[in-house]
């Protein structure tokens, strides 16, 4: 925690957005895609549609064409249009601040909902993706074989008041120092500090 705070005292949202709907769409697009690529695609999308009403008017085909660089564009464009329609019909076009309601939307899983609640509403959540899952295992914070168990373990280890910030600090550190290919559990400072006697590359439990 001290090392991460030293390196990343500020934790701005990695996904560029100007409202809750933009955040929801950006997080949805980030599935199996880098934040960097999402941030290159969303300016064009949001310049044409940055709320459910205009997104529905834009239509699935145009959305699909714009978001194609993010991958999985047929599924993602369908989900964006469907969730826009649902938000209009059930919530006056507003993004809900309830986990269950968010997870009921097309294309929105637990991790996406957690990010929106964290970065959009300021709720203390600990979204765990495959990268945090891998790092938590490398650092001995969990022996979980899935992101659900890893999330549970991390929430037990760290104060709730720090969950939002730690989630992003771990992501930032992983991208810069403890990448999937750049560190095998014996190279970066945190890995070496946690396990100074580790001789063999660490194999993550999937």
- Residue 105 DSSP symbol: S
Q: Which one is catalytic: 51, 76, 129, 153?
A: 129
Question: Please, what are the domains in the chain?
Answer: 20-121 (1.10.340.30), 126-194 (1.10.1670.10)
What is the mean pLDDT of the segment spanning 119-128?
96
End-to-end CA distance of the chain: 25
Could you tell me if 1 and 166 are in contact, meaning their C-beta atoms sit under 8 angstroms apart? Answer: yes
Whether the predicted pLDDT of 145 surpasses 90: no
Q: Which of 62, 76, 78, 111 is catalytic?
A: 111
**pLDDT tens per residue, range 36-57:** 999 999 999 999 999 999 999 9
Active-site residue flag, 145: no
The tokens describing 102, both together, are: 């968010």
Please report the pLDDT score of residue 191 as a whole number.
Answer: 97
Cα separation, 16 vs 62, whole angstroms: 21
pLDDT at 32 exceeding the cut of 80: yes
**CA gap 87, 92 in Å, rounded:** 6
- Whether residue 129 lies in the annotated active site: yes
């Amino acid at each position: 925690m001290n090392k991460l705070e030293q390196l990343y005292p500020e934790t701005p949202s990695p996904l560029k957005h100007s409202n809750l709907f933009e955040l929801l769409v950006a997080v949805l697009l980030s599935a199996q895609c880098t934040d960097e690529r999402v941030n290159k695609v969303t300016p064009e999308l949001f310049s044409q549609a940055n709320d459910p009403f205009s997104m529905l008017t834009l239509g699935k085909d145009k959305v699909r064409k714009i978001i194609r660089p993010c991958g999985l564009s047929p599924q993602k464009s369908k989900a964006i249009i469907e969730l826009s329609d649902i938000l209009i019909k059930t919530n006056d076009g507003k993004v809900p601040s309830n986990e269950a309601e968010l997870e009921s939307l097309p294309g929105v899983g637990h991790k996406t909902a957690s990010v929106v609640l964290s970065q959009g509403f300021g709720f203390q959540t600990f979204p765990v993706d495959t990268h945090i899952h891998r790092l938590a295992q490398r650092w001995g914070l969990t022996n979980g074989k899935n992101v659900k168990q890893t999330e549970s373990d991390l929430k037990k280890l760290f104060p709730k008041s720090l969950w939002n910030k730690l989630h992003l600090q771990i992501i930032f550190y992983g991208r810069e120092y403890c990448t999937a290919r750049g560190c095998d559990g014996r190279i970066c400072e945190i890995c070496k500090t946690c396990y100074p006697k580790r001789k063999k590359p660490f194999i993550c439990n999937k």
